[in-house]
Amino acid sequence: MNHAFPCGTLPLDFVGTLRARRNAAPMEKLATPELLDDWFVESGMLDLAPVANEADLTIARELREAIYDLVAARLEDRPLPAEAVAEVNLQASGLPVTLRLGPDGTTRTGSVSQGLAALARETVEILGGDEGALLRECTRPECTQVYLDRSRGHRREWCAMRTCGNRVKAAAYRARQHSVNS
């Protein structure tokens, strides 16, 4: 797997393909069209790679950044930026992913723009619906991953315990040991 899906919803996993956003050099996980193909297949959104090209990659990153701008505005209680709203609405108007029933079950196929349309529509549902209130940013400062906190009591602190949660806990443990020993 080239990509991770910890966020509980695909549009936010997609936003997470630009990692460590506030670092001087964020990590770009969608560096090539092939990595965009992998994202769609690994996410389960499409069964076949959509065979992305460079233009698709540019449009995909535009949608990703528009989703991030909307989520960031929501987290900071600012009005939603009009340009990002227009971008998400435009891409949400695209054709849906094609579903086919066959002897082995369902097959999902489509172009990059069909996949992006699905992500844009899900974004509209999150930001326009009740789940917008569940948006959080991971509390490990370098991470910057955003996710939906669907946990009971809404006390989820990290995008994923396996990565950030354990790192924060290990750092806290080391800090405690250090203060005991010094």
97 binds Zn ion (CB under 5 A): no
99-138 residues near Zn ion, rule: CB under 5 A? 138
Select 29 or 113, whichever has its Cβ closest to Zn ion: 29
Q: By the 8 A CB rule, do 64 and 35 touch? A: no
12 binds Zn ion (CB under 5 A): no
168 binds Zn ion (CB under 5 A): no
131-150 residues near Zn ion, rule: CB under 5 A? 138, 140, 143, 145
Helix (H/G/I), strand (E/B), else coil: 42: helix
* CB of residue 15 to Zn ion, shortest distance in Å: 12
CB-based contacts of 45-53 (< 8 A; 24+ apart in sequence): 45/10, 45/97, 45/108, 45/115, 45/118, 45/119, 46/97, 46/108, 46/109, 46/110, 46/115, 47/107, 47/108, 47/109, 48/109, 50/110, 50/111, 50/112, 50/114, 50/115, 52/112
Number of amino acids touching Zn ion (CB under 5 A): 6
159 binds Zn ion (CB under 5 A): yes
Say which amino acid occupies 85: V
Select 88 or 168, whichever has its Cβ closest to Zn ion: 168
* CB of residue 39 to Zn ion, shortest distance in Å: 18
Residues forming the site for Zn ion (CB under 5 A): 138, 140, 143, 145, 159, 164
